[in-house]
Chains A and B, each alone.
Chain A
């Protein structure tokens, strides 16, 4: 009798697992569609050419061609890409360097009022950017920093520092103190201990902070549209896209806009695919304490 009961129970478990698996697959495909469908629409629309294709509500209405991409590049979009790349890279390098120093100081270097400093840093990340823009605009104008790279990457650094410091303090805190003790006994100064022991061990955190900072700087719109609105010397990608005008000044040029969007998104998706594990690790370690 025990044998039949066992067999019956096994049958029940197997059936439940199969249903569960189908359910899981169904829900997973919902997630994938949710995330990818607008992107697919972007690509299809950017490849359309001609008014009939553009005005048609169907995604698959041809004819197709690369005309929109030519149009976008003719408007100087390559400059915008260059600007965004430079600004985002500068922001990332400076923010991570400065932030790593600050995070290490807060965790390891005997500062008084650690909690108050952390609280202050957190408070800074709560400031609404719109409130900061007008005075900064006036200051930037008098300093001649409008339409320049530093005019953008300095504020960007300030805005991404709190999260970077937050992430890196968690990573530095997880390095056992014994390792640095040993280095100190070997004669290392605190700075050498930082550079040769702590930094390499916190590399995943640094990497994650770098990616998050880069993405934030790449996506930023408010400051960029105020500090570098038009000049191709510093106009970034989001501002350029928002400002696209086509042949008809009253209609948004859907073709150019979607083509520009695709140009911008493709590298970001590659980044997401390649670095997804590190990004998740960085976010989970930095933002959450279980």
Chain B
């Protein structure tokens, strides 16, 4: 849709002449590269370099921080045969599947509700944003205190005495999932609400006149039409859940079956340092998360493509 040499374009001042002024400054493509380069530079340094660096490190053997020789793929073999690694994969997957499922179920409910017009809609939306703006670490501290055996706030509400939420395998994971769902279901609701709002009301009217009940309307109209919104939200939430760190670190310190991949990596890179093993672990985590992300993007396909001048 460019203005070729033979076209007459109406200018902003209304004169219907194609002016032949030579533009000063850089050409569009050169300017494009200039515009793009700061972003690419920053992302390459911060994101790309560490990944490559970790891969290199992982090919060597280390005693703590001191390099002791080339190790080839030995570190990776160690990682893949370590029960602790597989335990963390299980924990991470368990967390991801349960939290994302609940976030979507509850978020969808919230979104459907908020899609109706009612008085106080703005205030409700602002309220929904509150869990999102609270720093995750603070939410984690809060729920950690609430679930703690002493002074036992949750135990008091439920009237169950001395139940140890944070200190048992199984229940420890529950508290973390709970805190994550509390914080993120509203955010998912917002994303889904966006999709819901693109469905025109008369589509529902037509279905209602045709005799479709609420559940049928939901299943055959709503769900298919907000599929792009669901998939985008699903992608971002799943990838975030796979990388979870703040919640288990603050609430349970990664104990009692809540040691996720991120916490395990930190253990070997920051605490009991073994640079070779830790880097291999780090690279494996990266591969897993990126793999899931790419799989999602393939599935989403055209839904994510940004089209010009829509």
Q: Which residues of chain A have a CB within 8 Å of any CB of chain B?
A: 24, 27-28, 31-32, 34-36, 38-39, 41-42, 45, 54-59, 98-99, 101-102, 104-111, 115, 117-119, 121-124, 126-136, 139, 154-155, 157-159, 161-162, 165, 169-170, 173-174, 176-177, 179, 181-192, 215, 218-219, 221-222, 226, 237-238, 241-242, 252, 254, 257-258, 261, 264-265, 268-269, 271-273, 276-277, 279-280, 283-285, 287-290
Q: List B13-48 residues whose CB lies under 8 Å from chain A.
A: 13, 18-19, 21, 23-29, 31-33, 35-36, 38-40, 42-43, 45-48
Q: For residue A130, which residue of chain B has the nearest CB?
A: B262
| A27 B113 Cβ-Cβ under 8 A | yes
Q: List B224-272 residues whose CB lies under 8 Å from chain A.
A: 225-226, 228-229, 232-233, 236, 239, 242-243, 245-246, 250, 261-262, 265-266, 269-270
| A28 B118 Cβ-Cβ under 8 A | yes
Partner of B113, one of A24, A185, A241: A24
Q: For residue B10, which residue of chain A has the nearest CB?
A: A182
B197 close to chain A: CB less than 8 A: yes
B101 close to chain A: CB less than 8 A: no
B219 close to chain A: CB less than 8 A: no
| A221 B135 Cβ-Cβ under 8 A | yes
Partner of B265, one of A104, A131, A136, A277: A131
Using A38-B142, A131-B286 as known contacts, list a sample of 9 further A-B pairs with CB atoms less than 8 Å apart, ordered by residue number in A. Answer: A28-B124, A132-B51, A154-B45, A158-B46, A182-B12, A186-B13, A215-B133, A276-B125, A288-B233
Complex Cα gap A134–B293 (Å): 22
B153 close to chain A: CB less than 8 A: yes
Given contacts A128-B286, A134-B278, A190-B23, contact A98 B38 (CB under 8 A): yes
| A268 B198 Cβ-Cβ under 8 A | no
Q: List B98-130 residues whose CB lies under 8 Å from chain A.
A: 109-110, 113-114, 116, 118, 122-130
Q: For residue B230, which residue of chain A has the nearest CB?
A: A288
Of A55, A98, A154, A169, most B-chain CB atoms within 10 Å: A98
Residues on the B chain within 8 Å of A289, using CB:
228, 232, 303-304, 306
| B125 A31 Cβ-Cβ under 8 A | no
| A237 B135 Cβ-Cβ under 8 A | yes
For chain B, the count of residues having a C-beta within 8 Å of the partner chain is 122
19 A–B pairs (Cβ distance < 8 Å), ordered by A: A31-B124, A101-B35, A110-B29, A126-B290, A131-B51, A133-B50, A134-B269, A135-B54, A136-B50, A165-B39, A169-B306, A173-B310, A181-B9, A184-B3, A189-B23, A190-B23, A191-B26, A221-B245, A264-B138
B131 close to chain A: CB less than 8 A: yes
Partner of B54, one of A102, A108, A122, A131: A131
Partner of B42, one of A158, A254, A257: A158
| B138 A241 Cβ-Cβ under 8 A | yes
| A272 B133 Cβ-Cβ under 8 A | yes
Residues on the A chain within 8 Å of B279, using CB:
134
Complex Cα gap A157–B129 (Å): 23
Partner of A226, one of B132, B141, B270: B270
| B39 A101 Cβ-Cβ under 8 A | yes
Residues on the A chain within 8 Å of B266, using CB:
130, 133
| B21 A273 Cβ-Cβ under 8 A | no
| B127 A31 Cβ-Cβ under 8 A | yes
Chain B min CB distance to A94 (Å): 8
Partner of B310, one of A38, A123, A174, A284: A174
Chain B min CB distance to A129 (Å): 7
Contact flags B179-221 to A (C-beta < 8 A → 1, else 0) = 0001000100011011101110000000000000000000000
Residues on the B chain within 8 Å of A173, using CB:
306-310
Q: For residue B112, which residue of chain A has the nearest CB?
A: A27
B156 close to chain A: CB less than 8 A: yes
Interface of B is mostly: helix
Partner of B38, one of A35, A102, A107, A115: A102
Residues on the A chain within 8 Å of B282, using CB:
130-131, 134
Binding stretch for chain A, among B69-77, B79-87, B144-152: B144-152
Of A106, A183, A277, A289, most B-chain CB atoms within 10 Å: A289
Q: For residue A102, which residue of chain B has the nearest CB?
A: B39
B222 close to chain A: CB less than 8 A: no
B305 close to chain A: CB less than 8 A: yes
B155 close to chain A: CB less than 8 A: yes
Partner of B239, one of A56, A126, A169: A126
Given contacts A105-B35, A132-B47, contact A238 B3 (CB under 8 A): no
B134 close to chain A: CB less than 8 A: yes
Partner of A283, one of B3, B50, B194, B226: B194
| B197 A287 Cβ-Cβ under 8 A | no
| B246 A222 Cβ-Cβ under 8 A | yes
Q: For residue B156, which residue of chain A has the nearest CB?
A: A57
Partner of A280, one of B125, B153, B229, B239: B125
Contact flags B41-63 to A (C-beta < 8 A → 1, else 0) = 01101111111011001000000
Complex Cα gap A127–B19 (Å): 49
Residues on the A chain within 8 Å of B141, using CB:
241-242, 252, 257, 261
B90 close to chain A: CB less than 8 A: no
| B305 A136 Cβ-Cβ under 8 A | no
B137 close to chain A: CB less than 8 A: yes
B66 close to chain A: CB less than 8 A: no
